[in-house]
């Protein structure tokens, strides 16, 4: 926010901040995957509750176990592909246009955040199974 504002004012005086667009993009890119585990944990993602909330608690836990397995599979794949994508860009040496920041740093960091996110889902899954066993 501050960087973009500074850039707008500096541009008014004909001295835009070099590479500000890239820096803002990189910061925003990192903010989203870093917030993923927290958002998932607080139930911040939109889901359709209308049917599940009518079911018993046990059935709800069984359904949550199934959806956690699906989510775990999906994000394990996404993490793996994100790391592979970072590796590809590391090998090709692709960098940003103005500041020449290597993209693979950002993508590896995104991949790492996704890994943490996948582990959070895994933890949830273990918790679900523990709950089911306890019943």
Kindly list the residues in this chain that would bind another protein in the complex (CB under 8 A). 1-2, 4-5, 7-8, 21, 24-26, 28-29, 31-36, 38-40, 42, 44-52, 63-64, 66-67, 70-71, 74-75, 77-78, 81-82, 84-85, 106-107, 110
Cα 68-38-27 angle, rounded to 5 deg: 120
CB of 59 to another protein, least distance (A): 11
Shorter beta-carbon distance to another protein: residue 14 or 45: 45
Q: How far is the CB of 11 from another protein (least distance, A)?
A: 9
Q: Which is nearer to another protein, 31 or 126 (CB)?
A: 31
For the bound state, the minimum distance from the C-beta of residue 55 to another protein, rounded and expressed in Å, comes to 10
Query: 8 or 126: whose CB is closer to another protein?
Result: 8
CA distance 75 to 11: 41
Residue 133 beta carbon to another protein: minimum distance, rounded to whole angstroms: 21
Supply the minimum distance, in Å, between the C-beta of residue 135 and another protein: 19
Which of 15, 38 has the CB closer to another protein?
Answer: 38
C-alpha dihedral (101, 102, 107, 110), degrees to nearest 10: -40
What's the chain's Rg over C-alpha atoms?
21
């Amino acid at each position: 926010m501050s960087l973009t504002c500074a850039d707008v004012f500096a541009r008014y005086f004909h001295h835009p901040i070099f590479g500000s667009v890239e820096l803002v993009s990189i910061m925003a890119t990192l903010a989203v995957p870093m917030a993923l585990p927290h958002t998932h944990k607080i139930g911040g993602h939109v889901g359709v509750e209308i049917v599940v909330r009518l079911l018993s608690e046990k059935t709800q836990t069984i359904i949550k176990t199934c959806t956690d397995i699906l989510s775990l599979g999906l994000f394990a794949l996404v993490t793996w592909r994100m790391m592979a994508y970072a590796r590809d860009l590391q090998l090709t040496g692709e960098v940003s246009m103005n500041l020449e920041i290597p993209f693979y740093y950002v993508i590896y960091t995104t991949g790492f955040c996704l890994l943490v996110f996948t582990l959070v889902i895994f933890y949830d899954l273990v918790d679900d199974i523990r709950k089911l066993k306890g019943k």
